[in-house]
Amino acid sequence: MARSDKNLQAVVLCDTYLPRFMPLTAHKPRCLLPLANTPLIEYTLEFLVNCGVSEVYLMCCAHASQVSEYIKSSRWVSPFVPFKVQTIELPNTMSVGDAMRDIDSRGIITSDFLLISGDVVCNIDFDRVWAAHVQRKNEDKNCIMSMVLRKASALHRTRSNRTGLFVVDDITKRLVVYQRSILQKDIDVDSSELLKLTNVAFRNDLIDCRIDICSMDVPALFTENFDYEHLRDDFVRGVLTSDLLGKTIYAHIVDDGYAARVESFKTYKGVTKDIVSRYSYPLVVDSNVVQGKSYMYQRGHIYKERDVVLSQSCTIGMSTIIGSKSSVGDSTLVQGSVIGRCCAIGNNAVVENACLWDNVRIEDGAQVRGAILADNVRICKDAVIEPGAVIGFGVTVEAGTTVPQGARIHAKNRRSSSASAKSKSKSESESGSENGDESDGYGYSDSSAVISNSDDDEPSDTEDLAALVDEMYLSDESIVSLDHRKLAATRKPRRKSRTMSTTSNFSAEDAEDDDEEFVKEAITSINRSIVDKHTQDVAILELNTLRMTMNAPHEKVQEAVVIALVSHIGHLITQSDVKSVTTNVFTTWSPLLRRITFDMVGQTNLAAQIENNCAGMLQGERILAFALMTLYDTDVISENAVYAWHKQPEAGSQVRQLVDQWVEWLENAEEESDDE
Amino acid sequence: MSSKGDINTQISLFLTQLKRRQISGAKEVALATANLLIRFISSRRWVSTTAMIEQIRILGAKLVDAQPYELTCGNVIKRVLKNIRTINEAFAPKGNKDTDLEEDLNPSSSMLGLLSVSDSMNTSGDGDSSNNSSMANLTKHKSNEAEPGLTPSGYYVSEEVRAKARDLRNAVIDEIQSLIDEIQNDDPLFKAGIDMITDSDLLLTPCPSSKTMVDFLLKAAAKRNFTVIVTESYPNNVEKAKKMVQQLKNAGVKSTLIPDAAVFAVMAKVSKVVISARAVLANGGCIASSGVAMACHAAKQFTKPVLSIAGSYKLSPIYPFDVESLIEVGNSSKVIDFSDAELMDKLEVINPLYDYISPELIDIVISSDGGASPNFVYRLILDNYSEHDQHLSSVEIGAA
Amino acid sequence: MTQQLSGKELKELKKKQKQAQRQARKNQAGNQAGNQAGNQNSNQNSNQNSNQNSNQNSNQNSNSNSNANSNSNSASSAGNGSSAPTSRDYAETRAQMTQVNLFAGIEPPKAIMSKLQVHSSILHLALQMQSCRIIGSASRCKAMMLAFQQVVRDYDTPSNGSFSRSFASHLSQQIEVLKSGRGLSVSMGNAIRWLKQETSGLSMDISDESAKEYLVETISDFIRDRLDVADRIIVDTASNHLQEGDVVLIYGSSKVVLNTLIHAYTVQKKKFRVVIADSPPLFEGKKAARKLMNVGIPVTYILISALPYVIKGITTFMVGAHAMVSNGNLYSRVGTSMVAVMAAARSIPVLVLCETIKFSDRVQLDAFSVNEFIPQSTKGNKDENLIFFDLTDQKFISKVITEVGALPASSVPVILREYKQFL
């Protein structure tokens, strides 16, 4: 109870700015998606009650108004709730980083606070976590964050396969390295750092439940580093890799209690199962904490609300939830499923391991296995929905059709009306239109556009492949925000090919794709180096590693470096004048540039790259001029290369005026020296 | 009026605390319920016992729905209702009184009863209990339906009746207060229990989670010299079991811990089995923590006596038609560790928290009023509760 | 009756406690005088007995002289460690006074005896058994027989003796070492008796080589007939007792029971469910669960205390045996009797699957007279009475399924007597 006087604040990030729950999140904010018939946010808020929090700030972006509405009409505004809930609508934020900067600018945080994702299901004893955090802070003044990680195992049903690798000092529990997700095979660890420690644990078995106790420095750091987008990939990595900052992050690994996060369809199903089979007790369905629920528990983990109509001959199997006013017809089998309110399931149907939200109608003989059906979905007679399918709001699946594994179906006209989730909607466009082509988006039958489902060749593990596809989107998104128009332009065509399967036969197209991929990775890598002030050796090493692994040509390396540097300059010139910034940046990075530029062609190419990037930029011509001058001065580019480049036709942009003068001067000077 | 808002908040808070299992344990819930009732009754002006009974029944149905497994909550409410009925009888003029006990309890025979329209107690609580979203409904319901023709200020209520109502309120609160005292005071219970234990007894208790049990054994140890075997009660109460043995040892009582599986093996040496019930049901059966039923079965095989100790607030007028619905199923991760991905994914795991012990396995039920045979429990229950209050709501667990 | 008993017991207890105290005081005095030596001694001891139930022993050790100094262990280390030994000592004696020794007659596990003549495979086996790495009566028996085969092969007859004579004493030494790790199971005892008989029956005339060959071969036959084939016959018989839609309760992880279930599910294609009841500290049920899960049998997993809740739908209780004693009672993993009683109370058939090698001609009434302690290394709480086995009365057993047929438990002595020449 020592918490009551500490006045703990909690910031709930309702949005992850990732399109993982598309198409469902096109209509509903993700924190209101029902999990075991209760909106996700309820679980998080319940946990906050147990934490003894006194103020809660909900940071919402997509469908923010829906969240506000929901909270306003919920029990969380009643006087007996131990904390005040405040919804902060942030329609213009593009990332978690933006939300954090917003928090900083509002100045609402007064002390160490709890930063939590709006999709957490957790029953751990927070007092212990808090006490441990306080103790750590006493021992280590630089501790700015304790993150709660639940011990699980690598292939746990509740563990997202996007969870990173944590390298933890086993004695102090200080986080040494954070490595993002499975897609990267190598981990880059500063071995000198590890050698200092006697006991180091590489943990790939943890559930990152996104419950962090943060100091006030955390939002401030986001403001300082305005390119931080993600909490883990940018911020945590940033803090850990920065020597100058000197801040530390600790991992609080719990091995009792339940802590998980609903971050993808895989974990959605996993957490649902956990709740149904009572691993999250006392956060179980029949505790009826949310107003108006009346679930009763029956042997075999069956939960039924009042007014459920079950036919005499139907079979209700183990681990099933059935909401109020739902009915199940004759000889129907319902098993391992969650059924919302007012659902009607006909005769001889099969519903196995599926999640049905409210008002779903399943007609006679239909079979639904392992799928998620959103509100008002109608599955007509004898249709078959295969595992992993997700069917969006109001879709009707026509009689006798088969929805293949992993398909995402979506009603077209409804989503266009609410395309508020800016950047996200892009990535979902094709899944939305797949179905829309045929029957005004409300019907789905076999003859309609093929659902692109690259996982066909490996149907055994659709879950993971679906996750992989999601992962691709993730990496896309993280690039979008880097704000390179060039990149955005080149990215478009790639969108078309959704063949991001794990097959390894490389076609030309694939190679091209890889180059793009490389450029993006390289940019991120350089940006990191800039932000974290890595030495150039490290940066070079990173670039080379990337180049090797992705088999990219040298031009691409140059391209990436130039893009990164120029954009960096672009960020800086608002603060000081162009000349000094450009000169500065290019002087500092000239060694690197020298090492990636080998011959005349390379030098010419480099100049061209800079030109391309300066085109269209504010003060682009000045940047170009000063950049070339600096490179010339530092002997990265030879005179001849400058001439060669200058002879090339202008790329159509008007950035050469200043350079022209300089080249002219250069030529003259040469003549003069020749004269002498 | 602000006080009314206050009480509604308190009720809502209590409801959510029950649902979150923040308040748990028979005694704690009983005390919290009694205290809430005091606040509830003192927060308003009552003009008739019927209305009071009606309101308390509605409140009770909500509380019971919130945590159907904590039977003491319902018990306290039903006890209070019975008390109100008795008080009502006392307030009634002597002349009206019928000799039949049944009639006495009927509020319509009382003086205050004539203010209310009719005795509608048996149904009105039911429809409302489904809608427990806000306590505001409760007040609305009250002024709209429960007291037709009566405004809270009571235009045509005479001053004399009002005085009576005040007296009534105070009398009821006094009764609840003494009920609280009774719940808190385990001494009579212990005294009756100690008589059952003799020197050099070898006691087995499968209830390490019960505080009453620890207190009882410590108290008994002052007078008797016996040995205690405590079962581990894995997985839900292992820590408590270890603590209990330590506590007993610290008090100089010879004690030891055995795994649950060894209960049958050691039963031959045991001289008595002592259990602490969470609730004693109308048929004399008990609800106790998981593992107790097995110990009682084993005791029966060796014809060892089983003593069930339970404060009288644990006597519950419910008949266990559906035993399973009285047993809460707890946290699965205590049985299979959450991090064991393979097992937790494929196994169905059940971790019931309680056991039902049928009356034929129990020899003596010791309550605050002394010992009784399980067959006699129904009579004790009849003393404590009115038959009108057997069910507070239609969906009450175990009453189906 | 019980009171008398417990009174007597109490007296005994007190006597033992007094003895223990005296011993402790003596030891302490000794330690203070010859500090260094005493320390080392006790250290060694504590190493040796690291996984021993030291508190548990302290009472009974005092009258069994062989282990007397392990008793000093706790007392002396407490005395040496602290600067104020008296208060500690007091706490210690008080702890002893409140100690209850339910299984006073049972020997606690000891350190493995090491002998010059011991064969490495036997030592290895002894360690594996002590740590419960090899567990289960039949598995232990089989492992022992295989080790004996190795012993036979590697045995060199001393120059002055004949094979059959000298080998018998060599064998006894091996058995002694094996015994020191963990007490012999009934099946092992039976097998050893058989082997000794075989050895002594060897003709004096045959050469060492052919004698060895004969023994190795006959051991192989023994394993095949008495264990492997017996198991197969039991599996065949028992799986016929299962029916479509059954809910089978099992307790522990008996190999023959699991094989029966797997056979019925995968070969006979019967659809049924299994409920596994488990108990700490061994959690053998988890092992069983994994095996059954892997072939796809739906499994419900509970702890033994949850049995009353789950028992409602159960149709059969199937259990393996450590031994069947000749008065018809089942000697099996602790908890079996509890489950059997619960099942019998609901008229659920209790089937015991037991090879005849596990039949013992001793009689036993309760779990106190003959038993073992579970080695503490698995999970250490010295205050728990972690016994290995308990005794299930024959009245709770519906049927014993053996390789010679299914019979009522009361027929165990009949089998023992009638089939003596074959078994």
What are the extents of the domains in chain C? Answer: 2-97, 120-231, 238-418
**Sheet containing C323-324: which strands, arranged edge to edge?**
C323-324, C330-333, C389-392
> Are A281 and B330 a contacting pair at CB < 8 A?
yes
Residue B397: inside a domain: no
Whether residue B118 is found in the same domain as residue B223: no
> Are B20 and A156 a contacting pair at CB < 8 A?
no
What pLDDT is recorded for position B351? 95
**Exposed e or buried b per residue across B353-367, where buried means at least 16 C-beta atoms within 10 angstroms of its C-beta:** bbbbbbbebbbbbbb
What superfamily does domain C238-418 belong to in CATH? Translation initiation factor eif-2b; domain 2 (3.40.50.10470)
Least confident interval from A176-190, A280-294, B251-265: A176-190
Q: Are strands A165-169 and C323-324 parallel, antiparallel or unpaired?
A: unpaired
What confidence tens digit (pLDDT) does each residue in A544-571 have? 777 776 767 777 777 888 888 877 777 7
Whole domain around residue B123: which residue ranges? 2-184
3-class SS of residue A39: strand
Cβ-Cβ contacts under 8 Å, C3 against chain B: 198, 200-201, 271
What pLDDT is recorded for position A171? 86
Name the E strands within A295-399: 296-298, 302-304, 309-310, 315-316, 320-322, 327-328, 333-335, 338-339, 344-345, 350-352, 355-356, 361-362, 367-369, 372-373, 378-379, 384-385, 390-391, 396-397
Q: How far apart, in whole angstroms, are the C-alpha atoms of residue A426 and residue A428?
A: 5
What pLDDT is recorded for position A408? 86
> Prior bond to A219 cis, omega within 30?
no
What pLDDT is recorded for position B102? 39
**Sheet containing A175-179: which strands, arranged edge to edge?**
A175-179, A165-169, A200-203
Structure tokens at A601: 């062609």
3-class SS of residue A183: coil
Residue B313: inside a domain: yes
What confidence tens digit (pLDDT) does each residue in A635-645 have? 778 888 888 87
What confidence tens digit (pLDDT) does each residue in A449-463 have? 334 333 333 333 334
Least confident interval from A38-47, A593-602, A652-661, B313-322: A652-661
Q: What is the pTM of this model?
A: 0.75
Q: How many CA atoms lie within 13 A of C149 on its CB side?
A: 16
What's the pLDDT band for C2 if we cut at 50, 70, 90?
A: very low
Question: How would you class A447 by CB atoms within 10 Å of its CB: exposed for 0-12, middle for 13-18, buried for 19 or more?
Answer: exposed
What is the number of other CB atoms lying within 10 angstroms of the CB of residue A78?
Answer: 17
What is the number of other CB atoms lying within 10 angstroms of the CB of residue A165?
Answer: 18
Whether residue B216 is found in the same domain as residue B180: no
**Exposed e or buried b per residue across A232-246, where buried means at least 16 C-beta atoms within 10 angstroms of its C-beta:** bbbbbbbbbbbeebe
Q: For the residues A32-37, what does the mean pLDDT come to?
A: 92
Whether residue B176 is found in the same domain as residue B193: no
> Are B227 and C368 a contacting pair at CB < 8 A?
no
Task: Give chain C as a 3 state SS string.
Answer: CHHHHHHHHHHHHHHHHHHHHHHHHHHHHHHHHCHHHHHHHHHHHHHHCCCCCHHHHHHHHCCCHHHHHHHHHHHHHHHHHCCCHHHHHHHHHHHHHCCCCCCCCCCCCCCCCCCCCCCHHHHHHHHHHHCCCCCCHHHHHHHHHHHHHHHHHHCCCCCCCCHHHHHHHHHHHHHHHHHHHCCCCHHHHHHHHHHHHHHHCCCCCCCHHHHHHHHHHHHHHHHHHHHHHHHHHHHHHHHCCCCCCCEEEEECCCHHHHHHHHHHHHHCCCCCEEEEEECCCCCHHHHHHHHHHHHCCCEEEEEHHHHHHHHHHCCEEEEECCEECCCCCEEEECCHHHHHHHHHHCCCCEEEECCHHHECCCCCCCCCCCCCECCHHHCCCCCECCECEEEECHHHCCEEEECCEEECHHHHHHHHHHCCCCC
Q: What is chain C's length?
A: 423
Interface of A with B in 159-218 (CB under 8 A): 159, 205
Q: How far apart, in whole angstroms, are the C-alpha atoms of residue C253 and residue C238?
A: 16
Q: With CA atoms as reference, report the closest residue to C279 among B17, A420, B263, A180.
A: B263
Q: For the residues B330-345, what does the mean pLDDT come to?
A: 91
Q: For the residues B89-112, what does the mean pLDDT come to?
A: 48
C275, C305, C366: best to mutate for the B interface, most B CBs within 10 A: C305
Q: How far apart, in whole angstroms, are the C-alpha atoms of residue A166 and residue A151?
A: 12
- Note whether A78 contacts B: Cβ–Cβ < 8 A: yes
Q: Which residue has the higher pLDDT, B249 or C93?
A: B249
Side chain identity, residue A119: D
- For chain C, the first-to-last Cα distance in angstroms comes to 41
Whether residue B147 is found in the same domain as residue B192: no
- Note whether A649 contacts B: Cβ–Cβ < 8 A: no
Containing H/E element for A204? none
Side chain identity, residue C296: G
Q: Residue A58 phi/psi, 5° resolution?
A: -95, 115
Last residue within a domain, chosen from B150, B184, B218: B184
Q: How far apart, in whole angstroms, are the C-alpha atoms of residue B196 and residue B209?
A: 22
Q: Which residue has the higher pLDDT, C386 or A372?
A: A372
Residue ranges of domains in chain A, CATH in brackets: 9-265 (3.90.550.10), 286-462 (2.160.10.10), 517-675 (1.25.40.180)
Whether residue B283 is found in the same domain as residue B167: no
For this complex, say whether ipTM is above 0.85: no
- Note whether A325 contacts B: Cβ–Cβ < 8 A: no
Least confident interval from B136-140, B257-261, B325-329: B136-140
What CATH number should be reported for the domain holding residue B350? Answer: 3.40.50.10470
3-class SS of residue A274: helix
A122, A150, A153, A266: best to mutate for the B interface, most B CBs within 10 A: A153
Containing H/E element for A394? none
Whether residue B120 is found in the same domain as residue B201: no
- For chain A, the first-to-last Cα distance in angstroms comes to 87
Least confident interval from C344-348, C380-384, C405-409: C380-384
What confidence tens digit (pLDDT) does each residue in A45-88 have? 999 998 889 999 999 988 888 999 999 988 888 888 888 899 99
Structure tokens at C393: 């009365």
Cβ-Cβ contacts under 8 Å, C98 against chain B: 248-249, 252-255
Q: For the residues A163-168, what does the mean pLDDT come to?
A: 84
Nearest Cα of chain A lies from the Cα of B250 at a distance, in angstroms, of: 28
Q: For the residues A298-303, what does the mean pLDDT come to?
A: 92
Q: How far apart, in whole angstroms, are the C-alpha atoms of residue C43 and residue C80?
A: 11
What confidence tens digit (pLDDT) does each residue in C309-329 have? 999 899 999 999 999 999 999
Share of chain A above pLDDT 90, in %: 28
What confidence tens digit (pLDDT) does each residue in C144-180 have? 999 999 999 998 888 877 888 888 889 999 999 998 8
Residue where the block lists tokens 């500690």: C88
Interface of A with B in 263-302 (CB under 8 A): 273-274, 277-279, 281-282, 287-289, 291-292, 294, 296-301
What pLDDT is recorded for position B215? 93
Residues 6+ apart with CB under 8 A from A425: A26, A415, A419, A432
Fold of C120-231: Four Helix Bundle (Hemerythrin (Met), subunit A) (1.20.120)
Q: How many domains does chain B have?
A: 2
What's the pLDDT band for B393 if we cut at 50, 70, 90?
A: low
What pLDDT is recorded for position C26? 57
3-class SS of residue A548: helix
What pLDDT is recorded for position A589? 79
Structure tokens at C48: 């040796």
Residue B400: inside a domain: no
3-class SS of residue B93: coil
> Are B259 and C300 a contacting pair at CB < 8 A?
no
Cβ-Cβ contacts under 8 Å, A258 against chain B: 333, 338
Q: How far apart, in whole angstroms, are the C-alpha atoms of residue A542 and residue A544?
A: 5
Q: How far apart, in whole angstroms, are the C-alpha atoms of residue B82 and residue B76?
A: 10
Q: How far apart, in whole angstroms, are the C-alpha atoms of residue A554 and residue A609?
A: 13
3-class SS of residue B286: strand
What's the pLDDT band for C61 if we cut at 50, 70, 90?
A: very low
> Are B332 and A49 a contacting pair at CB < 8 A?
no
DSSP assignment of B327-385: S-B--GGGTS-TT-HHHHHH-EE--B-EEEE-GGG-SEEEETTEEE-GGGHHHHHHHHS
Cβ-Cβ contacts under 8 Å, C303 against chain B: 234-235, 260, 335, 351
Residue where the block lists tokens 């808190």: B184
What pLDDT is recorded for position B332? 93
Q: With CA atoms as reference, report the closest residue to A208 among A120, A149, A146.
A: A149
Dihedral sign, Cα of residue C336, residue C340, residue C342, residue C343: positive
Find the largest Cα–Cα distance for chain C. Answer: 74
Last residue within a domain, chosen from B184, B211, B236: B184
Residue B396: inside a domain: no
What pLDDT is recorded for position B8? 85
Whether residue B67 is found in the same domain as residue B118: yes
Q: How far apart, in whole angstroms, are the C-alpha atoms of residue A407 and residue A390?
A: 6
DSSP assignment of A48-106: HHHHT-SEEEEEE-TTHHHHHHHHHTSGGGSTTSSSEEEEEE-TT--SHHHHHHHHHHH
Structure tokens at C281: 């500290």
pLDDT exceeds 70 at position C368: yes
Whether residue B58 is found in the same domain as residue B22: yes
What angle do the packed helices C120-130 and C163-181 form, to 10 degrees? 30
What pLDDT is recorded for position A50? 87
Share of chain A above pLDDT 70, in %: 79
Whether residue B91 is found in the same domain as residue B168: yes
Whether residue B179 is found in the same domain as residue B198: no
What pLDDT is recorded for position A584? 79
By CA distance, what is B338's nearest residue in A? Answer: A152
Q: Are A314 and A334 in contact (CB under 8 A)?
A: yes
Q: How far apart, in whole angstroms, are the C-alpha atoms of residue C58 and residue C75?
A: 9
Q: Which residue has the higher pLDDT, A345 or B148?
A: A345
Distance of CA C388 to the CA centre of its chain: 6
Residues 6+ apart with CB under 8 A from B178: none
What pLDDT is recorded for position C330? 96
What mean pLDDT value characterizes chain A? Answer: 77
Whether residue B148 is found in the same domain as residue B214: no
Last residue within a domain, chosen from B126, B153, B184: B184
| Out of C299, C368, C387, closest to residue B347 by CB | C299
What pLDDT is recorded for position A518? 75
What pLDDT is recorded for position B203? 96
Whether residue B135 is found in the same domain as residue B204: no
- Residue A292's region, left for phi above 0, alpha for psi from -120 to 50, else beta, is left
